Chains A and B, each alone.
Chain A
Amino acid sequence: MFELVLGNSGGNEKLVFLRGEIDIYSAPDFRENLFQAIGDCKEDIVLDCSELSYIDSMGLGIMVAALKRAKQNDSNVRIRNPKPNVKKLFKITGLDKVFIMEDSK
């Protein structure tokens, strides 16, 4: 079960909530919805991962693709409040140094 919900955008960011699991089955939906949300957005995309319980290399790859799109628009992708297990995968792959990681808790 996976859900992508657009939050209220304000200031210089566009908020996207990720809920549930991004696995091989839900990854195509994630890609489509995320890229639709990004569009030609000039604001930073904030992926709120506080309710994201599962992701693997396929989902991380889609986030990388989103980051590349954002950079082309002179914006960025920020990863907000990932659970420890999800954060661990960013660290293992070195993506914690590529994305802006935000932890407000």
Chain B
Amino acid sequence: MARQTEDMLSMSVNQKEGIKIYSEMINSDAYEVCREVKIILNRIEMISGIDADQQFDIKVILSELLQNAIRHGNAMDSNKKVRVDVWIQDNRELFICVADQGPGFDVKHAFGGRKKSADCDALSMDESGRGLLIVQNLCDDIQFNSAGNAITVKKRLDKH
């Protein structure tokens, strides 16, 4: 695993002022991803009492990050795992860090080249590639490691 990834992971685990919600290695498997997303959501709900809209957003964010990690990062390789760390700071900021064991990707390309589907003709549209756009819109901050195989997002849990 790249040095930057290790640094990011150790940072996430050692959040001194945060409440650690979850820290596990997940297999590159769809069933396991769904099961762990539910576990994480339940824990967040117990600690922060999020409402239904926030629950929806967080479920989408978690699912998108994990789908990207197992499908694009680990290429569904059953020998590769995904590291997930979730913590809450000051009872109002949720952090999710997802790191895969793939080669990483070009972050600038991922964000720079993406256009909303409205710009495209339906017949020439891609089926995939909307995950990060959705995450970007539902989160308050996104950070990547330089290798592009670990992402940390922040979402405020303030009541709207």
Cβ contacts under 8 Å, B134 to chain A? 56-57, 89, 92-93
Q: How large is the interface on A (under 10, 10 to 19, 20 to 34, 35 or more residues)?
A: 20 to 34
| B118 adjacent to chain A (CB < 8 Å) | yes
Do the beta carbons of A65 and B127 come within 8 Å of each other?
yes
- Given the interface pairs A24-B67, A56-B63, A56-B131, the reply to whether A71 lies near B125 with Cβ below 8 Å is no
Tell me if B53 counts as interface (CB < 8 A to partner A): yes
Q: Does B123 touch A at the CB level, under 8 Å? A: yes
Mostly helix, strand, loop or mixed at chain A's interface?
A: helix
Binds B, one of A33-41, A43-51, A94-102: A94-102
- The answer, yes or no, to whether B59 is at the interface (CB within 8 Å) is yes
Across the interface, A64 reaches (CB within 8 A) one of B66, B119, B125, namely B125
Please determine whether A57 and B131 come into contact, CB atoms closer than 8 angstroms.
yes
What is the interface size of chain B, counting residues whose CB is below 8 A from a CB of the partner? 33
Across the interface, do A54 and B59 meet the contact criterion of CB distance under 8 Å?
yes
**Interface residue from A24, A71, A72, A93 paired with B133 (Cβ < 8 Å):** A93
List 7 A-B pairs, minimum CB-CB distance, nearest first: A94-B116, A94-B118, A97-B118, A61-B127, A94-B117, A57-B130, A57-B131
* Beyond A24-B33, A25-B33, A94-B118, 13 additional pairs, beta carbon < 8 A: A24-B66, A25-B34, A54-B60, A56-B60, A56-B67, A56-B134, A57-B129, A57-B134, A61-B130, A68-B125, A71-B123, A89-B134, A92-B138
